[in-house]
């Protein structure tokens, strides 16, 4: 198996965390052609997004589908609870992350330069993102990991995106951990996990390279 991967991608990191947690031997493959929109990569993943998993010839796009597949195929150690209720709680957070929390953050990636930013776009997405942070605060467990004592797919989804949140949102006047005590406690706790430490370190190295090359686009 191979994961078509970019270390700075929070969605690819989401899958790398599962791979690290489960100790899987999956090749980390660069994007063919060096560009998500290259003709070479279009043959692999017509969606033109990272990650994509080549599972012995079965091409699986979409990070959460990949993670659910890896959980099904390699259930030990488990990253989903046993009970249907527990699994639903994890999936509520992973779906919330993908559909509601991450999009307004992503919309701000190209707005880092105050000289060139679209103030209307920034204002709308900052407002939306602040609202999503408040919602996340209410959804997180009172202690431990995102859904309680056990590390799950919800933590794998949230941790890489929080890397961007904590690094980039202060540039827009948002201090994401202020006024969100559960989020702040979770963020401190989740970073102690070896897989998360490794994944976030890889993101940090990739971000430093990109910033030296002119910023995030």
110 CB burial (10 A radius; 0-12, 13-18, 19+): middle
Retrieve residue 167's tokens.
């690094």
Residue pair 162/184 in contact by the 8 Å Cβ criterion: no
Cα–Cα distance measured from residue 92 to residue 53, given in angstroms and rounded to the nearest whole number = 23
Question: For residue range 101-124, what is the model confidence (pLDDT) as tens digits?
Answer: 999 999 999 998 899 999 999 999
Strands 27-29 and 2-4, bridge-based pairing: parallel
Question: For residue range 152-193, what is the model confidence (pLDDT) as tens digits?
Answer: 999 999 999 999 999 999 999 999 999 999 999 999 999 999
Question: For residue range 35-91, what is the model confidence (pLDDT) as tens digits?
Answer: 899 999 999 899 999 999 999 999 999 999 999 999 999 999 999 999 999 999 999
Peptide bond into 10 cis (omega under 30): no
pLDDT band at 144 (very low <50, low <70, confident <90, very high): very high
Locus of tokens 């679209």: 118
Cα–Cα distance measured from residue 203 to residue 198, given in angstroms and rounded to the nearest whole number = 9
At residue 26, does pLDDT exceed 90? yes
Cα of first residue to Cα of last residue in the chain, in angstroms, is 30
pTM over 0.85: yes
Residue pair 191/145 in contact by the 8 Å Cβ criterion: no
Cα–Cα distance measured from residue 214 to residue 84, given in angstroms and rounded to the nearest whole number = 46
């Amino acid at each position: 198996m191979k994961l078509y991967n970019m270390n700075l991608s929070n969605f690819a990191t989401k899958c790398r965390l599962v791979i690290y947690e489960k100790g899987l031997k999956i090749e980390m493959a660069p994007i063919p052609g060096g560009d998500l929109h290259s003709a070479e990569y279009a043959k692999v993943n017509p969606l033109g997004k990272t990650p994509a998993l080549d599972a012995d010839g079965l091409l699986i796009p979409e990070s959460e589908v990949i993670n659910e597949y890896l959980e099904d195929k390699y259930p030990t150690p488990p990253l989903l609870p046993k009970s249907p209720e527990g699994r639903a709680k994890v999936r509520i957070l992973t779906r919330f992350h993908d559909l509601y929390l991450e999009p307004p953050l992503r919309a701000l990636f190209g707005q880092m330069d105050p000289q060139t930013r679209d103030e209307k776009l920034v204002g709308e997405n900052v407002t939306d993102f602040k609202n999503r942070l408040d919602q996340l605060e209410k959804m997180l467990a009172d202690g431990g990991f995102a859904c309680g004592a056990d590390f799950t797919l919800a933590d794998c989804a949230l941790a890489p995106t929080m890397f961007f949140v904590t690094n980039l949102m202060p540039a827009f006047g948002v201090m994401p951990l202020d006024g969100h005590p559960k989020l702040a406690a979770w963020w401190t706790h989740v970073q102690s996990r070896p897989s998360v430490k490794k994944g976030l370190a890889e993101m940090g190295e990739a971000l430093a390279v990109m910033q030296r090359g002119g910023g995030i686009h």
